[in-house]
Amino acid sequence: MTQLPETTTRKLGLVIDLDTCVGCHACVVSCKGWNTENYGAPLSDQEAYGADPSGTFLNRVHSYEVQPDDGAAQLIHFPKSCLHCEDAPCVTVCPTGASYKRTEDGIVLVNERDCIGCGLCAWACPYGAREMDAAEKVMKKCTLCVDRIYNENLPEVDRVPACVRTCPAGARHFGDLGDPDSDVSKLVEERGGMDLMPEMGTKPVNKYLPPRPKDRIEDQIDILAPLLAPVAEEPKGFMAWLDKALEKI
Amino acid sequence: MHPARSVILFTTLSGLGFGLLFWLGIGLPKATGWIAFVFFVIAYALAVGGLLASTFHLGHPERAIKAFSQWRSSWLSREGVCAVAALVVMAIYGAGLVFLGERWAILGWIGAALSVGTVFTTSMIYAQLKTVPRWNLTLTPFLFLTLSIAGGALMAGEVSWALTLLPVAAAFQVAYWITGDTALRRSGTTLASATGLGDVGQVRAFEPPHTGPNYLMKEFMFVVGRKHAVKLRIFAFALGYAAPILLLTVPFGHWEAALAVVCHLGGVYVSRWLFFAQAEHVVGLYYGKR
């Protein structure tokens, strides 16, 4: 059913820390690795070793240069995947009922057996979170690793999305954003977590933590700096003669 | 947006076909027997041909039957339901006209309403998308509807109606172009709002996620097509609106009428191509493209 649920019991989602992300793309690789061999159709590649390789990814990392009015430009790495919106426009446009939002945890999923591959849900998503697989001709999207987070065959530490589990910088956090006392909700509160394109009215569950203000390099880098000034002087006497003589040879 | 040929053909042909069905439904012209048969064959060829073309862009057309289920929320599903209902009702109404020489007026009116409804639901598939500000306009359904009904009048040989409605459609077309050109800017969506980094400073896309292209870039970022947009607009306007109006005002026969229809069809096709090629999807902002 492609009507959205009035409310969901929980709002599972990700909190992505733009201050901490180092842009290593490990989350991209682990996401593709897990999801190509688990939930639904594999994530195919086209011409993987050819001149013009492309493929399906559920998570991609952009990099942006941000130039403040004064001071140095900053490079900010920006992972982007499905935001599991509360008011998900991709779900309501689906003509077959293949796209749906789960009542119990708010995860947005695609039932691939019902997907006709019309692509309208990808048109409706402002974030580019949905990609049509070129081999399977069905719509692929982040499942929040629904086959990991409830999977009792995995050790408890692994019951988080693959991207969160693999992030070496600790820039990705997973939890219930509907519970104000959860760790992720506290983190969002503390760091001023934000929505992407709030004007679209999609009410994303995933939040992004803005980069912290950078330290400013004032006139002097360090109080010890003057002591590091070069001490070499022009040579005198015998050393001066030797210097000249050696130059001439 | 990538201008997919199947979707452009569908909206152009079906728009005209359902426009003609609308006029046949309200009983203009009052044809029966063989003449009615020819009209209905043309209308069904256009409407059904367009619908078939639209299935070519589906990944799994064999599951298309499922698309009739979600009419409560989905404009695409509503379009499917409306199209089939219109075709069924108009087939019964047409059979009455062709084989029995009877005009069941109420059935005709219902069929006409469903035909216009189909065009409206098609237009709403585009107009509902906030992600494409150039489509997310009240003018979008008006443009689709006036074009369809004016084109239908032209096909039905209702010259006086065509001469009244073609200028109206042309006015909506020009208004749509002018309003559409500023739609993205007026939507307020920028790279700054897309990344939330506007407070830090001026944001610039530095590196895309991958060196190669992807589905999103192929589907939503069609920059090349905008190069000749102004010339193509003039072309669309001259062919789609000005030429048929001119041809209808001079004394004319069947050949001139056919030429007017062909010109109109060509003009609408170009206009519909621009409708897609010029539309900017906001996801392009993440890639530093429009």
Does position B55 have pLDDT exceeding 90, yes or no?
Answer: no
What's the structural domain count of chain A? 1
Average pLDDT, chain B: 93
High-pLDDT (> 70) share of chain B, %: 100
Residue A110 lies in a domain: yes
Question: Which residues in chain A have their CB less than 8 angstroms from residue B282's CB?
Answer: 126, 197, 200
Of A1, A134, A199, the CB nearest to B189: A199
Q: What is the domain range of residue A129?
A: 12-209
**Which tens digits make up the pLDDT trace of A102-160?**
999 999 999 999 999 999 999 999 999 999 999 999 999 999 999 999 999 999 999 99
Which amino acid is present at A212?
R
Residue A6 lies in a domain: no
**Which tens digits make up the pLDDT trace of A16-53?**
999 999 999 999 999 999 999 999 999 999 999 999 99
- Residue B206 in contact with partner chain A when CB distance is under 8 A: yes
Q: How far is B85 from chain A (nearest CA, A)?
A: 17
Chain A segment 124-183 residues within 8 A of B by beta carbon are: 124-128, 131-132, 134, 136-138
Does position B222 have pLDDT exceeding 90, yes or no?
Answer: no
Of B58, B69, B216, the CB nearest to A118: B58
Per DSSP, the residues of chain B read ----HHHHHHHHHHHHHHHHHHHHHTTSS---HHHHHHHHHHHHHHHHHHHHHHHTT-S-GGGGGGGGS-TTT-HHHHHHHHHHHHHHHHHHHHHIIIII----HHHHHHHHHHHHHHHHHHHHHHHT-TTSTTTSSTHHHHHHHHHHHHHHHHHHT-HHHHHHHHHHHHHHHHHHHHHHHTHHHHHT--HHHHHS-TTTSEEEEEE-SSSS--HHHHHH---GGGTTHHHHHHHHHIIIIIHHHHHHHS---HHHHHHHHHHHHHHHHHHHHHHHHTPPPTHHHHTT--
Taking residues B247-274, report their average pLDDT.
90
- Residue A73 in contact with partner chain B when CB distance is under 8 A: yes
Q: How far is B259 from chain A (nearest CA, A)?
A: 35
**Which tens digits make up the pLDDT trace of A192-221?**
999 999 999 999 999 999 999 887 766 666
Does position A224 have pLDDT exceeding 90, yes or no?
Answer: no
Q: Report the pLDDT value the prediction gives residue A18, as an integer from 0 to 100.
A: 97
Which chain A residue has its CA at the smallest distance from B74's CA? Answer: A93
Question: Which residues in chain A have their CB less than 8 angstroms from residue B200's CB?
Answer: 66, 68, 74, 76, 210-211
Taking residues B150-177, report their average pLDDT.
95
Does position B202 have pLDDT exceeding 60, yes or no?
Answer: yes
Q: Report the pLDDT value the prediction gives residue A1, as an integer from 0 to 100.
A: 57
Q: Report the pLDDT value the prediction gives residue A236, as an integer from 0 to 100.
A: 83
Q: Report the pLDDT value the prediction gives residue B24, as an integer from 0 to 100.
A: 96
Residue A116 lies in a domain: yes
Does position B48 have pLDDT exceeding 60, yes or no?
Answer: yes
Does A52 contact B73 at a Cβ distance shorter than 8 Å? no
CA B216 to chain centre: 23
What domains sit in chain B, N to C, each tagged with a CATH number? Answer: 5-286 (1.20.1630.10)
* Interior angle at CA A88, CA B189 and CA A99, nearest 5: 135
Residue A247 lies in a domain: no
Does position B260 have pLDDT exceeding 70, yes or no?
Answer: yes
Q: Which of A43, A92, A96, A133 best tests the B interface by mutation, with the highest count of B CBs <10 A?
A: A96
Q: How confident is the model at residue B228 (pLDDT cuts 50, 70, 90)?
A: confident
Q: Report the pLDDT value the prediction gives residue B237, as an integer from 0 to 100.
A: 96
Q: How confident is the model at residue B152 (pLDDT cuts 50, 70, 90)?
A: very high
CB B135, CB B279: distance < 8 Å: yes
Does position A62 have pLDDT exceeding 60, yes or no?
Answer: yes
> What CATH number is attached to the domain comprising A35?
3.30.70.20
Residue A156 lies in a domain: yes
- Residue A68 in contact with partner chain B when CB distance is under 8 A: yes
- Residue A33 in contact with partner chain B when CB distance is under 8 A: no
Residue A244 lies in a domain: no
Q: Report the pLDDT value the prediction gives residue B62, as an integer from 0 to 100.
A: 92
Q: Which residue has the higher pLDDT, B250 or A219?
A: B250
**Which tens digits make up the pLDDT trace of B96-139?**
999 998 899 999 999 999 999 999 999 999 999 999 999 999 99
Of B63, B187, B207, the CB nearest to A63: B207
Taking residues A75-90, report their average pLDDT.
97
Question: Which residues in chain B have their CB less than 8 angstroms from residue A117's CB?
Answer: 58-60
Does position A11 have pLDDT exceeding 90, yes or no?
Answer: yes
Does position A96 have pLDDT exceeding 60, yes or no?
Answer: yes
Q: Report the pLDDT value the prediction gives residue B223, as an integer from 0 to 100.
A: 75
Lowest-confidence region among A141-145, A166-170, B250-254: B250-254
Residue A214 lies in a domain: no
Residue A225 lies in a domain: no
Please tell me the distance from the alpha carbon of residue A173 to that of residue A181, in angstroms, as a whole number. Answer: 15
Q: Report the pLDDT value the prediction gives residue A36, as an integer from 0 to 100.
A: 96
Q: Report the pLDDT value the prediction gives residue A219, as an integer from 0 to 100.
A: 64
Does B195 contact A78 at a Cβ distance shorter than 8 Å? yes
Which chain B residue has its CA at the smallest distance from A61's CA? Answer: B209
Does A123 contact B132 at a Cβ distance shorter than 8 Å? yes
